[in-house]
Chains A and B, each alone.
Chain A
């Protein structure tokens, strides 16, 4: 490892886009209807420093999971470049990419769907060790697997059990053990707590923060829950319809959100601390279909501040403070939905 590599961000994402071809029915093909595309991720750029937790927040269908998977090359990006520890992942041949996967892992949202019901815990968690040749012999394999289970709060007596014998929270611990067993450096946490009950959610969040300290991990933490992101991330990227609309440190973005979407997202979260003390931004309508995204700024169909230019031209992200960027045509007018409604 060169000194140069150590100094840069661990992961950098430059202009990444991911487009899916939308299903075309036979009738569509026969009548020669043109193909339609879903632009799930559109020209996204950011970097993640070593040891950092980058939060990625957005509503369902905004492309946050696709982005997480595209970064790991579980999906090939349509455009753009992902660099991990100085290596351009897109340029790696398959064999080297496979070796690289030891260092970058993912934890999935659904602890029921993401574990093979026909495999024991030892097989599920031990698989990465076998794939990457990290343990030779049955004894060593079991020993390393048991070791990681202890780390995530399970016991070696659980080794020969099947996923259905565990509760949701325990299954998520198995998923975490599988991601950590190869001692990766970077983990995409894709909504790892949103399927869990409040008390179990707190256990898993605490576990993930403890493990990060202990094992020196870097996370991309994907969530739709502002409270979770606000509690544990260092920086946050706010995504809307495939684009990052605001990015910055959690303190600045959540204390002083500049994009109207971030502002409305913040005001929509009910909090126990100060009920009724916040002004409510009323967003009307639903997320537009990514099959037919609106022209101009993609948020203009729901934005209370939209003016003519927003309907015609897409805004470009600009700096609004140290390390804080937002993409909105009306940034300089210093409008805030939050204050406006309060007055």
Chain B
């Protein structure tokens, strides 16, 4: 991972988040480093259980018992978020860093109108709202109308008074984005924003995120399992497997020249029209249980390139061009 610069907005180092279960301690996130630069879009790819959501729930301070952050630093604009108390964290959450959840139906409050939910956000993170009661209400309403318009909802004035169930799935996802964007955050974490949506609606929502990123100059972390989405919308990508980052780099580099066997396997698993008639090469086996993992490469049991040298803890290795991968076979290439 490249060193932080003054362009760095978020830097996570050595994050370790564990969950206590009856069967033992599950290490969902194990030594994860993340850097998000100002204005960039970072894609986070991985399968279920790879730790991608837990990593960013940790950043947001949303990990609840029986889970806890065991180690690591989470630096946002030079402040360690882990050192903040509840009140201070609440001020960061929503105002500086906003997050949208995968399932908009359960994330929105069904008993409040959409307008009330946007207003709640604005009230909580009061950014220069007028103090008079009526003026304040008018300002909030005007801003809410603007936000709904921004996310492409027609006749926002009427829509503000409606409840989440009166909207379709794509609309609800957009409302959640509107709420997240209402306080003009510096970082938007979008957790699987389009997984529950149809492709034509998915395209609309992703374009909305990309457009507002450009307009507001914010950074975006896009958590997804879809490499196609990453290829089209992210500047850099981070691939996670079994609680660790196994590869990261510029999107084009990682997709065109993947270094880690898991990334190669993922790309090779994608059914594509261009591969008709050829066999796809699935990755055999399944993700290991995250309890009492042996000190070896976590992908070992499924890897086609495994050897005795993989039976130890593997560090991230530099592959050149800012691309790194957690594999003993990775060698630095000359910059191209």
Contacts and interface: CB of A to CB of B under 8 A. Distances in A.
B231 A275 contact: yes
A282 B279 contact: no
A94 interface: no
Interface in B272-298: 272-276, 279-284, 286
Interface string B251-291: 10001000000000111111111111001111110100000
A227 B271 contact: yes
B313 interface: no
A283 B200 contact: yes
Interface in B195-215: 198-204, 206-207
A265 B200 contact: yes
A201 interface: yes
Given A167-B286, A202-B282, A269-B199, A230 B231 contact: no
B283 A199 contact: yes
B171 A206 contact: no
Nearest to B194: A270
B194 to A, nearest CB: 10
Interface in A194-227: 197-203, 205-206, 224-227
A269 B171 CA distance: 19
B70 interface: no
B226 A227 contact: no
B48 interface: yes
B121 interface: no
Contacts of A230: 271-273, 276
B217 interface: no
Interface string A50-91: 000000000110000000000000000000000000000000
Nearest to A274: B231
Q: Looking at chain B's contact residues, is the secondary structure mostly helix, strand, loop, or mixed?
A: helix
Nearest to B196: A60
A243 B207 CA distance: 28
A202 B283 contact: yes
B266 A275 contact: no
A273 B272 contact: yes
Nearest to B269: A202
A273 B273 CA distance: 11
Contacts of A197: 47-48, 225
Contacts of B47: 197-200
B284 A286 contact: no
Contacts of B286: 167, 169, 200
A127 to B, nearest CB: 27
A264 interface: yes
Contacts of B279: 206
Contacts of A280: 203, 207
Nearest to A267: B203
Contacts of B204: 282-284
Contacts of A270: 203, 206, 226, 228-229, 231-233
Contacts of A267: 203
B198 A60 contact: yes
B229 A264 contact: no
Give the size range of B's interface with the partner: 35 or more
B228 A272 contact: yes
B280 A231 contact: yes
Contacts of A59: 198-201
A276 interface: yes
Contact of B199 (A203, A268, A276, A282): A268
Given A199-B266, A270-B232, A227 B202 contact: no
Nearest to B267: A272
A198 B50 CA distance: 13
A202 B200 contact: no
Nearest to A230: B273
B270 A227 contact: yes
A250 interface: yes
> Which interface residue of B229, B266, B282 has the most chain A CB atoms within 10 A?
B282
A203 B270 contact: no
Contacts of A282: 203-204, 207
A200 B251 CA distance: 23
B168 interface: yes
A306 interface: no
B200 A268 contact: yes
B9 to A, nearest CB: 24
Interface string B72-96: 0000000000000000000000000
B171 A271 contact: no
> Which interface residue of A250, A271, A284 has the most chain B CB atoms within 10 A?
A271
A320 interface: no
A287 interface: yes
A56 to B, nearest CB: 15
Contact of B255 (A60, A272, A276): A272
A314 interface: no
A102 to B, nearest CB: 30
Nearest to B46: A197
B227 interface: yes
Given A203-B283, A268-B200, A275-B251, 12 more contacts: A59-B199, A199-B47, A202-B280, A227-B228, A231-B275, A254-B273, A268-B203, A269-B228, A271-B228, A273-B274, A283-B204, A284-B204
Interface of B: 47-48, 168, 170-171, 198-204, 206-207, 225-233, 251, 255, 265-276, 279-284, 286
16 contacts: A167-B286, A198-B270, A201-B271, A202-B270, A202-B282, A202-B283, A225-B271, A227-B272, A230-B271, A232-B271, A250-B273, A275-B232, A283-B203, A283-B204, A286-B170, A286-B171
Closest 5 CB pairs of A and B: A270-B228, A231-B271, A202-B269, A230-B273, A202-B282
